[in-house]
Amino acid sequence: MNEKQLTKEIFLKEVSSHSIEIIKDDGLYRHIKCSNNGSYNQSFEIITWPGCLAYNGDMGSFMFSRIDDMFSFFRNDKQDINTSYWAEKVVAESVFGNGIRKFSVEQFRECVLEDVRYWLNIEESDTIPCDIMEEIEPLLDADDKYECVTAIRDFNSDKVKFYDFWEHSCNRKTWHFIWCCYAIVWAINKYDEAKSTT
């Protein structure tokens, strides 16, 4: 299973026909709606009040808290995002499966290979011996969380061990959370553009 990663280019393509509607603009109290001609598909709203920014829309719901003016916190001209740092500022998240992180089979496989290299005392650039690769093949072939957990739990070898495997995090940021982070920055830039022309 190949887990596609969301990039800025993919996001910008998905919102290329989006526009913003400024519903409220009273100091730190703001309400912005963003959509593709009113469509609910990938539409979202951003609401701020002192110390908080709430994102709600087709990709989930998140509330961030860091500084009084949360637009200042997220604002940047390059529309870059910092999902790790921003995730630390989430004080509430969607409960419908579109949260910040989820189990990643790709991350699981990377952790397996990292532990094997550690156990064999070899560098990341070194090739893992064929006999070891054959032994860990069931781990690398697992296709979902259940199979991964079962495979690592049932793994038995004299050549390599996974004593502390679950100290790894096999989670990655969700597509939805990354999309929301891009959306916040995009909307703030569009807001700034609109304000500069009025």
Q: Is the pLDDT confidence value at 97 over 70?
A: no
pLDDT interval class at 58 (50, 70, 90): confident
Considering the entire predicted model, what is its pTM? 0.83
Q: Is the pLDDT of residue 146 over 80?
A: yes
SS3 per-residue string spanning 97-149: CCCCEEECHHHHHHHHHHHHHHHHCCCCCCCCCHHHHHHHHHHHCCCCHHHHH
CA distance 157 to 149: 16
As given in the structure block, the two tokens for residue 136 are 């860990």
Q: Given this model, what pLDDT does residue 1 score?
A: 39
User: Residue 191's closest CA among 16, 1, 21?
Assistant: 21
158-178: b (≥16 Cβ within 10 Å) or e: eebebeebeeeebebbbbbbb
Query: Looking at the predicted structure, is the pLDDT value of residue 123 above 80?
Result: yes
Structure confidence by residue, pLDDT tens digits, 149-172:
999 999 999 889 898 898 999 999
pLDDT tops 90 at residue 67 = yes
Q: Which of 60, 3, 36, 4 is CA-nearest to residue 184?
A: 60
Joined tokens for residue 125: 């650039």
Paired with 52 in beta bridges are: 49
Mean pLDDT of 28-42: 94
Q: Over 145-175, what HEC string results?
A: HHHHHHHHHHCCCCCCCCCCHHHCCCEEECH
**What pLDDT is recorded for position 3?**
54
SS3 for 4? coil
Look at residue 88 in the predicted model and tell me its pLDDT: 96
Bridge partners, residue 90, by sequence = 64
Q: Please state the rounded mean pLDDT for residues 115-135.
A: 93
Give the number of residues written for the chain. Answer: 198
Amino acid at 134: E
